[in-house]
Amino acid sequence: MLPADPMTTANLLDFDLEGLAAFCERLGEKRFRATQLFRWIHQRGASDFSLMTDLAKSLREKLAGTARVEALQVLTQNESADGTIKWLFDVGDGNAVEAVFIPEDDRGTLCVSSQAGCAVGCRFCSTGHQGFSRNLTTGEIVAQLWFAEHFLRRHLKRDERVISNVVMMGMGEPLQNYAALVPALRTMLDDNAYGLSRRRVTVSTSGVVPMIDRLGQDCPVAMAVSLHAPNDALRNDLVPLNRKYPIAELIEACKRYLAHAPRDFITFEYCMLDGVNDQPEHARQLVELVRKHGISCKFNLIPFNPFPASGLLRSPQARVLAFAKVLSEAGLVTTVRKTRGDDIDAACGQLAGDVKDRTRAAERLAARRRTIVLHPARSHAASTTAEEP
């Protein structure tokens, strides 16, 4: 059989079940055929229609001429000493994105990318420094899970599901790729596909307020918000999107989201940057902020994973613990994230992939870096190349 022509055929990874049912109807097939097909693709990892033996031969022939299941090409695969596996996938035109599998005793988490690069341009993020190239399609988002799940089952010789959790914490801002994100989330949740519970699928956002509201309506899953600063002056500098959606608006959107969310709290992520946002005063301001808004939340403190172009350093462990203590003593549940896979550059914010920047964000960030305002006592960070402490 000739390979399906990508110019004229539909990639079935682009469809959630509803979309696949509509596609089947266009072929003159009953909608329930879509469920069978969806299971073959996502539960069994099949991409060859001729092997889908319980589908009528006539349907298999129609599919061969009109559809394909197109995975992403793996450029590299790296396995860390701690079992973390990172894949670099080719998404064409010189762009590549990364996905990371993080095994733990009681779960297997896949960290998935949503864009080639990112337009938000956070100062501490390697993806942000690469600039933005393009949104991934639904198929490209789902293909990361499709590939990883079925690869891992073979690799670990397991028949049952390996990936129990998905976090949209790879490259890109998922809520700036909303149209592709929602069918991908629905596929993750669908019992005929990956069957993940809403609590085990997390969207992490830098704070695209209108899309937080839409996600609450369309597909509420667990929500993590990258806060990183307790006041607008500092957050404007670290997360430029804050100038458009300041902290008070962001937290109010989080409160509205909680009315729909599968968990009764928002996770605030806070990347600990030496001398920038890690002082006890910042922790006290955070306590005041969440009290003022009365938001139900947990804090996840992330040790900064340095990369030279950022000009930033990781906070010493003692400072992270002191910060966590202020939050905990105020009654806020606070965890410190373990870094995983640093030996293969798979830790948070190190996912750089390979992005053909159409926005020249790298130059803009370099120019902003020269104006960075640091805590006076730690201002050495501005002139030091970032390295692991």
207 binds ligand SF4 (CB under 6 A): no
Residue pair 367/309 in contact (Cβ under 8 Å)? The answer is no
> In the complex, what is the shortest distance from the CB of residue 196 to ligand SF4, in angstroms, rounded to a whole number?
22
| Positive or negative torsion for Cα 236, 242, 244, 247 | negative
- Contacting residue, 14, 269, 274, 278, with ligand SAH by CB under 6 A: 269
Residue pair 47/217 in contact (Cβ under 8 Å)? The answer is no
Of 29 and 140, which CB lies nearer to ligand SAH in the complex structure? 140
Compute φ and ψ for 298, nearest 5 degrees: -130, 155
Closest residue to ligand SAH using C-beta atoms: 349
> In the complex, what is the shortest distance from the CB of residue 121 to ligand SF4, in angstroms, rounded to a whole number?
6
**Burial call 82-104: b when 16+ CB within 10 Å, e when fewer:** bebbbbbbbbeeebbbbbbbbbe
Cα–Cα distance, 215 to 224 (Å, whole number): 13
- Contacting residue, 47, 80, 109, 127, with ligand SF4 by CB under 6 A: 127
349 binds ligand SAH (CB under 6 A): yes
- Tokens 């009315």 locate to 259
- Contacting residue, 47, 137, 144, 206, with ligand SF4 by CB under 6 A: 206
Provide the 3-class DSSP secondary structure of residue 224: strand
297 in active site: no
Cα 142 versus chain centre, distance: 12
Compute φ and ψ for 303, nearest 5 degrees: -60, 130
61 in active site: no
Q: What's the one-letter identity of residue 302? A: I
303 binds ligand SF4 (CB under 6 A): no
- Contacting residue, 52, 59, 118, 136, with ligand SF4 by CB under 6 A: 118
304 binds ligand SAH (CB under 6 A): yes
- Contacting residue, 84, 133, 144, 206, with ligand SAH by CB under 6 A: 206
Tokens in use for 9? 């055929």
Cβ neighbours, 10 Å, residue 26? 10
Tokens in use for 349? 């914010």
169 binds ligand SAH (CB under 6 A): yes
> In the complex, what is the shortest distance from the CB of residue 133 to ligand SAH, in angstroms, rounded to a whole number?
15
Of 11 and 114, which CB lies nearer to ligand SAH in the complex structure? 114
271 binds ligand SAH (CB under 6 A): yes
Catalytic residue among 98, 140, 149, 173: 98
Residue 348 interacting entry, from ligand SAH, ligand SF4, none, C-beta within 5 to 8 Å by type: ligand SAH
Closest residue to ligand SF4 using C-beta atoms: 128
- Contacting residue, 125, 152, 326, 361, with ligand SAH by CB under 6 A: 125
| Positive or negative torsion for Cα 45, 50, 51, 53 | positive
Compute φ and ψ for 370, nearest 5 degrees: -70, -15
Q: What's the one-letter identity of residue 321? A: L
| Helix ranges (DSSP H) in the chain | 17-26, 32-38, 57-66, 126-130, 138-155, 178-189, 209-218, 232-238, 247-258, 280-293, 317-329, 361-369
133 binds ligand SAH (CB under 6 A): no
144 binds ligand SAH (CB under 6 A): no
Residue 121 interacting entry, from ligand SF4, ligand SAH, none, C-beta within 5 to 8 Å by type: ligand SF4
- Tokens 């806060």 locate to 227
306 binds ligand SF4 (CB under 6 A): no
DSSP symbol at 193: T
Stretch of residues binding ligand SAH (CB under 6 A), selected from 99-107, 278-286, 298-306, 353-361: 298-306
Residue 269 interacting entry, from ligand SAH, ligand SF4, none, C-beta within 5 to 8 Å by type: ligand SAH
What is the footprint of ligand SF4 within residues 29-68 (CB under 6 A)? none
The strand pairing partners of 11, in sequence order, are 68
Of 84 and 226, which CB lies nearer to ligand SF4 in the complex structure? 226
Binding site for ligand SF4 (CB under 6 A): 118, 120-122, 125, 127-128, 172-173, 206, 226
Binding site for ligand SAH (CB under 6 A): 124-126, 169, 173, 204-206, 226, 269, 271, 302, 304-305, 348-349
List the catalytic residues.
98, 348
